[in-house]
Amino acid sequence: MYSHFRAAPHIGAILRRAKAPRSVPRSQLLYDQAFRCTSALVLRVIRSLTTATADGVFKTQRRTFEPSLEQLAIVEFSRTQNVVVSARPGSGKTATAEAIVAANAGRAVALVTYSKRLQLETARRLEDYTCDVYTFHGLAGTLFKTVAFNDTVLRTLRREGGQPTWTGQPYEIIILDELQDCTDDLFWLTCAFISSVTHAAGGRAPRIVALGDERQAIYGFRGADSRYLSLAPSTMAGISPYPWTRLSLSKSFRLSQETSRFVNDVFLGGDKYVIGTHHGPAPLYLHVNPFKIDKLARRLVRLILKYGAERTAILAPFVRSNTALARLTNTLSRKYGIPIAVSISDDVPLDDLVIGGKVCVSTYHQFKGNERDLVIVYGVDASYFEILGRDLPDDTCPNETFVALTRAIKQLVLIHSADKKPMPFLSLSQLDKAATFVSLSSNPMQEPDPVGRPLQLGLLLPWTCSVSDMARHVPDEQLEAIVAANIKINELEPPLPRSEPIAAPEITLTDKERMHYEAVGDINGLAVVAAFEHFKKGTLTTLDCAPTRLPSIPSAEREQAAWYCREACAYEAQVSGYESRSIQMKDHAFDWLAPYLGAAKERLSAQFAGDEELEFEARLREEKFTVRDSSQLSSQATCLRGRADIVHHHGDGDATIWEIKFVGKLSLQHAIQACAYAYLWATQNRRRTPPRVMLYNVQDGEKREITAPDGVEGFRRVVEEVLRAKYSKTGVVSTQSFLASCARAKEEVEKLWEGHTVEMP
The distance from CA 738 to its chain's CA centroid, rounded to whole angstroms, is 24
pLDDT tens digits, one per residue of 429-438: 999 999 999 9
pLDDT at site 257: 98
pLDDT at site 728: 95
- What whole-number distance in Å separates Cα of residue 742 and Cα of residue 228? 9
CB 589 within 8 A of CB 562: yes
Report the DSSP beta bridge partners of residue 611.
none
CB 50 within 8 A of CB 60: yes
* Parts of the chain with a pLDDT under 70: 1-64, 611, 755-761
Cα–Cα nearest to 148, from 471, 490, 367, 476: 476
- What whole-number distance in Å separates Cα of residue 398 and Cα of residue 385? 9
CB 143: neighbour CB atoms within 10 A? 24
pLDDT tens digits, one per residue of 36-66: 444 334 445 545 444 434 344 444 454 567 8
- What whole-number distance in Å separates Cα of residue 99 and Cα of residue 66? 9
pLDDT at site 43: 44
Cα–Cα nearest to 235, from 210, 258, 257: 210
pLDDT at site 153: 87
Domain regions of the chain by residue span: 67-249, 264-457, 464-496+612-729, 507-592
- The DSSP annotation for 237-291 comes to TTTS-S-EEEEEE-EEEEEEHHHHHHIIIIISTT----EEEE--PPPEEEEE-TT
CB 291 within 8 A of CB 257: no
pTM for the structure as a whole: 0.91
Beta strand spans in 378-471 (E): 408-417, 436-439, 458-459, 464-466
The distance from CA 30 to its chain's CA centroid, rounded to whole angstroms, is 35
How far, in Å, are 83, 302, 405, 427 from residue 436 at the CA level?
40, 16, 15, 14
Amino acid at the residue 696: Y
pLDDT at site 239: 94
- What whole-number distance in Å separates Cα of residue 672 and Cα of residue 486? 11
Domain 67-249: which topology?
Rossmann fold (3.40.50)
- What whole-number distance in Å separates Cα of residue 221 and Cα of residue 216? 14
Sign of the four-CA dihedral 34, 39, 43, 49: negative
Cα–Cα nearest to 213, from 273, 268, 280: 273
Cα–Cα nearest to 683, from 647, 713, 659, 650: 713
- What whole-number distance in Å separates Cα of residue 160 and Cα of residue 474? 24
- What whole-number distance in Å separates Cα of residue 746 and Cα of residue 692? 44
The distance from CA 588 to its chain's CA centroid, rounded to whole angstroms, is 30
CB 247 within 8 A of CB 73: yes
- What whole-number distance in Å separates Cα of residue 206 and Cα of residue 198? 7
Give buried/exposed letters for 414-435 (b at 16+ CB in 10 A, else e).
Answer: bbbbbebbbbbbbbeebbeebb
Give the DSSP H or E segment for 617: strand 613-629
> Regarding beta strands 634-649 and 464-466, do their DSSP bridges make them parallel or antiparallel, or are they unpaired?
parallel
Q: Is 404 helix (H, G, I), strand (E, B) or coil?
A: helix
CATH of 264-457, one of 3.60.9.10, 3.90.1300.10, 3.40.50.300, 3.20.10.10: 3.40.50.300
CB 424 within 8 A of CB 449: yes
How far, in Å, are 63, 478, 508 from residue 46 at the CA level?
6, 48, 38
Cα–Cα nearest to 137, from 123, 122, 121, 157: 157
Amino acid at the residue 630: S
pLDDT at site 612: 75
- Output phi, psi for 486, to 5 deg: -125, -25
CB 213 within 8 A of CB 180: yes
pLDDT at site 64: 64
pLDDT at site 521: 96
Q: Is 488 helix (H, G, I), strand (E, B) or coil?
A: strand
Cα–Cα nearest to 114, from 39, 175, 55, 58: 175
How far, in Å, are 122, 264, 394, 452 from residue 424 at the CA level?
40, 16, 6, 9
CB 71 within 8 A of CB 92: yes
- What whole-number distance in Å separates Cα of residue 485 and Cα of residue 498? 32
- What whole-number distance in Å separates Cα of residue 236 and Cα of residue 230? 11
Domains 67-249 and 264-457 share a fold: yes
Give the DSSP H or E segment for 25: none
pLDDT at site 610: 73
CB 610 within 8 A of CB 648: no
Longest dimension (CA), the chain: 93
- What whole-number distance in Å separates Cα of residue 66 and Cα of residue 725? 48
Who's near 202: CB < 8 A, 6+ residues apart?
A: 170, 758, 759, 760, 761
Q: Is 655 helix (H, G, I), strand (E, B) or coil?
A: strand
